[in-house]
Structure 1
């Protein structure tokens, strides 16, 4: 009987989708309770239960097709009592299909959270936390505002200049030297205005941009700004400097706060190390003139994941994705910058 078939389909679908929801709940527990990135991977294998993460939506799709089949003829037939019943039946099928269709949102949410947990634990990122080197309790908002005031590159927006995300971590070079680091995202907005025929200013649009970078603390070098862009720095980096190497001059611009200090600092070895660093990076590298703080900023998203799994349908695919994905630009910056600071 058709009714028995429908009942059986509903029962099978409900049973399959319950397995998916149970797996998602278990994934949330794993993500919240794991101590390390490897701990998350270890808890995903062996799973010792059905591994599916794909919702069964065949029945809602069929209901949607049936609903459309009964509604469409209404627009071509005359006004008859049977067209009204056809329309109501089709509308009921579409409503049932809409209410019973399981979206992938719960799976996407838990996958995103697992990715964030893997990133935080693998790269030891402490979100919205000042670095340990400060040694005193400080309000994060005041701390970030203070850092922004130290460098002139955080005033690029005419409307807003914000650091909506930051995370502290510790980098260690091959010799065991540790560096306290604060990674950040810098967002700024500019307003574009034009004048109409009467000379009145009109707001056309707002342009929003993002840059990413890091602060490195306890750096001995001071009073220097280096950029890969053809631009000038202003106070306090008022004095330009040119290398004897034409190729370096074409790629890098050097500015400093004191000409005598620059002459001592910019030795051939230092300039070559700087050129090596910027072979695979672009942006601005600034050393504060008084504080022992370095700031690097560029348009490259340091938190961009190397690859996204196209479709995660089971626990095995999810584990493979979490095991292989990484932050390649952050890893490269850590390697190159720690090498530069040796």
Structure 2
């Protein structure tokens, strides 16, 4: 048995005249390397268009790439046109009823523009750029004038190989496709506004109360969200309960979805012995039944969870917690002000709202509009 452990491996003779490898010795790899060499041309060029282009095929590929760039341009223009034009009708894209439509069209046109641009660039690289091997020599960090001149020559040669200098159709359509995409972020700045101004200072509760008082009533009746059934005091006399209510008649208004989003209110029955009315609001509850805006004052999520043992209202988005027994003041979390309280009363046995919320509903920064 041979003791030779070189890279060719150790072998022992076989009876048939051949040899077999001894266990524990490296295999025979010879002169193989990860990249095969060609004695005449060095390392082969990577897969792609090759070192030389077939001009006829290149022209066809050029037209295909230009078509994709034009498609990207058209999709980008459609994105901007929809954003400025169609989305501005009937209240714009900021309304609840238009959100799904605007997301579909804006997302679809932007995705098409990005996809067409990516496909065009990919075909350009694979079909129109030569695949010559590039060898980089390492020298000292300080570059000589000859090196800089060589670099400049390489850049110019690269531009020539890419075809961007000799194929003006590709260059122009690429710039055409990229121009609207550069403007898109500027157009999207519109989504930072407009400010709600004074639209959140009042809700449909105020309008409904004014209409009811004009008819000789004390206020507008509370109806259960989902059933629109008026709510009697006797229907909600169990401490610890919470339901969502709305002003009567809100579903018949124009842009009802937007009005409901602002007017949605939670009704809670707090035990009388634990209830602590806020000064100046002693008559805003009915035997411990109190109403607060359901919109969290942090970022506007629905404060829809209620802990009966602690009488805490919880917003599940960022865990802002409000004390229902003490004017919904903040006891934990990032919210900075209590949930607005709705003044309540009773008329003919029904729970009614006697006025609108006294302060803007929703996140604190909205009230600055």
Question: Taking structure 2 as the reference length, what is the TM-score of the superposition?
Answer: 0.32
Structure 1 or 2, whichever has the larger Rg, is 2
Question: Taking structure 1 as the reference length, what is the TM-score of the superposition?
Answer: 0.34
Larger fraction in strand: 1
Larger fraction in helix: 1
